[in-house]
């Protein structure tokens, strides 16, 4: 399966962060009281010095926003179900979008339940650093794949360089299944026992190892 992801480059230096699917890697908070999906957004990590998946902590405001969207989606579903002009495909799409929102709400509710005592800010999900800043990028709708211009400025200056960060969308092949990464409620990665023994679990583990020595 191929999906669109942004790559990032700088218009002043040779910095390049290839299109990556770090945002859709399955991640979960594991606690004795249960588990919940880790919410994440794209951000700049001052420790990794690249774009990475950054924790998106649960909030009452996000819950309220999702509640509003669910009310709208239910109304829309009611409209398409009572309108004979609407195709079956459109009805299915409305059902799916409502189900997706309800899942998101359930995730948010579970996160709020599991992380009530979390007092620290969002962390980099690759290295655990708090030195992170969320970076918003235009959606894939604005994508112009194969664009020779090098991409669009996203309004973020390359830290330590000052050049404009440009983003460009590209299709990336993603594996259908991937191991779920586990975190405690403070956002610290929980390493599987086998990987601890081997000391090798890809990028994240190596970074952690370097930093903790």
Dihedral, CA atoms, 147, 150, 151, 154, nearest 10 degrees?
180
Q: Of the ranges 15-23, 73-81, 93-101, 178-186, which one interacts with Zn ion (CB under 5 A)?
A: 15-23
Query: What's the CA gap between 191 and 97, in Å, rounded?
Result: 34
Nearest alpha-carbon partner for 24 in 41, 44, 9, 6: 41
Cβ closest to Zn ion, residue 16 vs residue 100: 16
Q: Please work out the total of residues on this chain that contact Zn ion, with binding judged by CB under 5 A.
A: 14
Cβ closest to Zn ion, residue 73 vs residue 127: 127
Expressed in percent and rounded to 5, the helix, strand and coil fractions of the chain are 35, 25, 40
Smallest separation (angstroms) from Zn ion to the CB of 175: 22
Query: What's the CA gap between 131 and 184, in Å, rounded?
Result: 19
Q: Which residues pair with 166 in a beta bridge?
A: 9, 153
CA-to-CA dists, residue 65 to 62, 90, 115, angstroms? 5, 24, 19
In this structure, are residues 98 and 178 in contact, taking their beta carbons and an 8 Å threshold? no
**Quick one: tokens of 198?**
């081997």
Smallest separation (angstroms) from Zn ion to the CB of 124: 3
Cβ closest to Zn ion, residue 38 vs residue 73: 38
In this structure, are residues 40 and 125 in contact, taking their beta carbons and an 8 Å threshold? yes
Cβ closest to Zn ion, residue 12 vs residue 196: 12
Question: From the list 13, 49, 64, 190, which residue makes contact with Zn ion (rule: CB under 5 A)?
Answer: 13
Smallest separation (angstroms) from Zn ion to the CB of 156: 11
Q: Of the ranges 39-47, 57-65, 107-115, 180-188, which one interacts with Zn ion (CB under 5 A)?
A: 39-47
Instruction: List the interface residues with Zn ion, window 144-173 (CB under 5 A).
Output: 158, 161, 163
Helical ranges in the chain per DSSP H? 60-82, 88-114, 193-198, 203-212
Binding track, positions 108-137, relative to Zn ion; x by CB under 5 A: ----------------x-xx-x--------
Cβ closest to Zn ion, residue 127 vs residue 181: 127
Q: Of the ranges 8-16, 65-73, 107-115, 190-198, which one interacts with Zn ion (CB under 5 A)?
A: 8-16
Cβ closest to Zn ion, residue 104 vs residue 204: 204
Longest dimension (CA), the chain: 66
Binding site for Zn ion (CB under 5 A): 10, 12-13, 15, 45, 47-48, 124, 126-127, 129, 158, 161, 163
């Amino acid at each position: 399966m191929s999906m669109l992801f942004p790559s990032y480059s700088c218009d002043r230096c040779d910095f390049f962060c290839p299109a990556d699917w770090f945002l859709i890697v399955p991640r979960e908070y594991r606690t004795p009281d249960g588990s919940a999906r880790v919410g994440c957004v794209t951000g700049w990590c001052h420790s990794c010095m690249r774009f990475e998946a950054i924790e998106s902590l649960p909030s009452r405001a996000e819950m309220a926003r999702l509640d509003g969207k669910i009310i709208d989606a239910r109304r829309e579903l009611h409209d398409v179900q009572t309108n004979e002009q609407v195709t079956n495909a459109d009805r299915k799409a409305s059902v799916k979008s409502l189900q997706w929102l309800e899942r998101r709400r359930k995730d948010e509710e579970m996160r709020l339940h599991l992380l009530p005592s979390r007092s620290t800010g969002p962390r980099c999900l690759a290295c655990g650093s708090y030195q992170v800043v969320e970076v918003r990028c235009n959606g894939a709708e604005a994508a112009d794949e194969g664009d020779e211009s090098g991409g669009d400025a996203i309004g973020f200056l390359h830290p330590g360089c000052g050049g404009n960060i440009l983003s460009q969308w590209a299709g990336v092949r993603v594996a259908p299944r991937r191991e779920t990464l586990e975190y405690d409620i403070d956002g610290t990665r929980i390493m599987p026992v086998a990987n601890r023994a081997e000391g090798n679990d890809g990028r994240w583990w190596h970074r952690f190892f370097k930093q903790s020595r």
